Amino acid sequence: MHTDADLSSLSVRQLRARRRRLAASLTDPQVNLEGSLVSQMRRCGKEGCRCTQGELHGPYVYLSISRDAARRLVYVPAKLADVVRQHLALTEQIEASLAAISAINLELVARRQLD
């Protein structure tokens, strides 16, 4: 990530070039998936099962999605865990690039050079 201090030392031409590179590096937005992976041990609730003695099942992987104050867990089947992990990583890259582009545009606004 680039700080505002970095940006203030660049020319308008350099800012626009950096913005163009960031935009060109953006991944296909179809990968977008928000949340983070958590793994949990679970009790199945069946009477007499070993989990009632504290030997829990799992670990199972869940996608944790926070919206406002609420958190939701969505079960992720084991064979999808890797692809979900990839999507989350790419989503982080997209968000970082968009934040960097926004910072450049903010700098251009401050210089009255936003096009």
Where do contacts with Zn ion occur on this chain (CB under 5 A)? 44, 49, 51
Closer CB to Zn ion, 45 or 77, in the complex: 45
**Least distance (Å) from Zn ion to the CB of residue 39?**
17
Closer CB to Zn ion, 42 or 72, in the complex: 42
Task: List all residues 6 or more positions away from 17 whose beta carbon is below 8 Å from its beta carbon.
Answer: none
**Least distance (Å) from Zn ion to the CB of residue 42?**
8
Q: Which residues pair with 39 in a beta bridge?
A: 61
Which residue, chain included where needed, has tokens 């199945």?
44
C-alpha 37/C-alpha 41 separation (Å) is 14
Closer CB to Zn ion, 28 or 47, in the complex: 47
